[in-house]
Amino acid sequence: MVRHAWFVIQNLPFHHLTVVNDLRSRPLLPLAAGLTYLCPMEKLMRQHWWKALSVIILVYALVAGLLVPLKPNLLDVSPNAAQAGATQSFQLLGYNTQFTDDRDGLMAWLNYGEGYALRAVEVTVLDDRRATVTFNFPDGLPTDRPENKRLSLIVSGSESGAFVAPDVVVMRQESAPADLAAVEADWRQGVMQPGELTAHPGMTFPYRSLLGETIRNTYFHVSLWFAMMFLFIAAVVYAVKYLRRKSKLEAGGVSNHADLNNVNSLERADHWSVVFTGVGMLFGILGLLTGAVWAKYTWGSFWNWDIKQFTTLIALLIYAGYFVLRAAFPDPERRARLGAVYNIFAFACLIPLIYILPRMSATSLHPGAEGNPAMGGEDLDNTMRMIFYPTIIGWTLFGGWMAGVAYRARLLGERLLRSQEVH
């Protein structure tokens, strides 16, 4: 039984409100819809475990996301072309490599495809980042047709582990080789054998030649977008709640009284919708800014009018119109009603603008174009998922915490304003 609980009895004028104190000595009054209450979201805001969890997750994301090294790979391979029937050396410039420690066991292959590869006949280590590999090229490619083939270079060492530099050497074939069977046999002899490729001994993130170290922005740019979506979903849920409660109230199905120092259930739903939309907008702007910084390093400029950038900007401008609309109506009831309807409209626009239209584009620079969700193994490996998915949870919880603080601030302002009107 709750001691010293205060309930405002519905259907009574404000100057005749009845307060019931110390319910242990009296029958428990029914919790009618018009009584002052704490909604589930407010009850959740009074708990602290999930707020602490959000901070712990975000600290983990910052530390692990910024300090875990990238996998070794190659920054440059020169020359980038090979001639059939020649012995040719290539100079390698590594990234995060330890060629000196790998000196005795460093191996390299040029891979043509399934079942065909050339093994380096000599590997010379100059320092941790520089090495020279030499190959004996057969008289042609293992195919009976003219072809310009891009070969991938595979390197493996005990310390650096195995890594692939895709399509770094071009070999041209004007016509089929005179002895195709002999050429095919030469290419088969160099195929990698079981146990020759070694894994990197520590935890690493994937290296992408275009992204380099900027791949770490995935944990902040992309996760902010996911958190923004969850916050906008919460906002539209409370907008729908407001409209449903308003409809029931007008039909006479529920009562909505509250004392002068509190807000009723309609106002609470409206306040929650506003604060979730505001925090979602903040996360959306942060996502747009982090994406612009990323674009500067990968695409050459902060803004490229890529379709993903353009449609995202439109979506955020639509949500900005929500706050402009609310500011245009001084009457609280009209402001809340129109704001709830507009919030539903904005969310309905958000989905096609951010998740559908960009994937229909064949010219977009952004990952996710042409139906690729950018979540496969080529873009996001298991080590990244260990950071990425918890970060989404962390940002979402932290955004909910921010919304709760903003909600309490709105309630405090509302109560102070009503107190001033009474006195």
Give residue-wise pLDDT tens across range 239-256: 999 999 888 887 775 555
| Domain-located, residue 114 | yes
Residue 260 shares a structural domain with residue 340:
yes
Q: Which of 168, 185, 203 is the last residue of a domain?
A: 203
Q: Is the pLDDT at 370 greater than 50, yes or no?
A: yes
Residue 170 shares a structural domain with residue 254:
no
Give dist(CA 174, CA 176) in Å, integer.
7
| Domain-located, residue 327 | yes
Among left, alpha and beta (phi > 0; psi -120 to 50; other), residue 65 is alpha
Residue 106 shares a structural domain with residue 158:
yes
Residue 46 shares a structural domain with residue 112:
no
pLDDT in tens, 335-344: 999 999 999 9
- Tokens standing for residue 27: 């029958």
| Domain-located, residue 79 | yes
Residue 316 shares a structural domain with residue 351:
yes
pLDDT in tens, 185-220: 999 998 988 888 888 778 889 888 888 899 999 999
| Domain-located, residue 208 | no
Residue 194 shares a structural domain with residue 138:
yes
Among candidates 90, 114, 108, which has minimal Cα distance to 187?
A: 114
Among candidates 401, 399, 139, which has minimal Cα distance to 280?
A: 399
Residue 285 shares a structural domain with residue 307:
yes
Residue 317 shares a structural domain with residue 358:
yes
Residue 220 shares a structural domain with residue 194:
no
Among candidates 251, 283, 237, which has minimal Cα distance to 401?
A: 283
DSSP 356: I
| Domain-located, residue 385 | yes
Q: Which of 155, 174, 203 is the last residue of a domain?
A: 203
Query: CA angle at residue 263 from 258 to 269, to 5 degrees?
Result: 120
pLDDT in tens, 106-146: 999 999 988 899 999 999 999 999 999 999 999 999 988 88
DSSP 205: B
Residue 42 shares a structural domain with residue 102:
no
Domain count, the chain: 3
Q: Which domain holds residue 90?
A: 73-203
